[in-house]
Structure 1
Amino acid sequence: MNEIFWPEDYIPGFTDNFASNEAIVAGLSGSDIWPFLSKALLWPTYYSNSANIRFYDGKGPELEDGVRFYFETFGLPVEAQVLEYVPPAEGKPGRVGWHGWGGEGDTRFDVYHSWLIEDLPSGRVRILTQESQKGKPAQELAKTKPNVMINGHQDWLDGLVAAARKGRS
């Protein structure tokens, strides 16, 4: 199985917080999942913790390398820029990752959020999402029980799978 490619400043274990969620599901492929992930304006239709998505410089609605966008999640405004964008192809996983940031001083946070969409044998797809975080808010999130990031990202992952299943029918 493949893994996330991390920018050097966001390697898990060297940041303040890390969240990882994964699902392997039968009956879907990367090409079923990708449209619901790569079109950020669709996120709020299946993930209630995302809102007010907008793109800069006349870009969108599809994410792509270098694209700047804005969204709100976990009650925070997030500026973001896509640093990796590779749609799934025969024998190759799809990858999308963005640097997100916001706040100032003690409220400043920096994250790298990445998704890997990988077709597996026997009509299965693996969906891996991971986020590595830096800053005082990340330090506080790392202490929360239950883990807000793990639970929130699981909702996103579950919603993505449900949207892709509905899109197939």
Structure 2
Amino acid sequence: MQLEKLFTMQLALDQHIEKKHGLQEEDLFNRKVLALLVEMGELANETRCFKFWSVKPPSEKQVILEEFVDGVHFILSLGIECDFHKRKFLINAAPTPLSVTDQFLLINERVLRFQMTRSETDYIALFEGYLQLAMLLGITYEEMEQAYFDKNEVNYQRQQNNY
């Protein structure tokens, strides 16, 4: 995965948004944490992994991929908030034996732990957990990167159109 390139793109988008909305001096960390949690909820809703009462299948893979990448945007943005984009580190996500539901719960725990500590170790654990979720959902790094590039363009267009 081209982590440096993704961080560079996210930093440019974050700076564009913050400048446009006059947020350069604001601490956006907790808002980004909440945004990530909301995006994860939207993703879980599309996977329907927790909807034991329903027989309706999950959304199409493309819809799930787009929701997944929204989370990637906020994970990168949170890393930028903590200056982790300036460091070299390895994200090494191994396959997990957890179910999709249990992986979502684990990631939620990791988001909240990272919110409290803002440590690089907890950030890496969060990122790795999210990439493990990608594996469970059948999303490859290549698909994820391309979807990120595509959504990044959409996000710029939304800013130009006063989204």
- TM score, norm. by length of structure 2: 0.31
TM-score between both structures, scaled by the size of structure 1: 0.31
Of Structure 1 and Structure 2, which has the larger fraction of its residues in helix? 2
Q: Please identify which structure carries the higher strand content.
A: 1
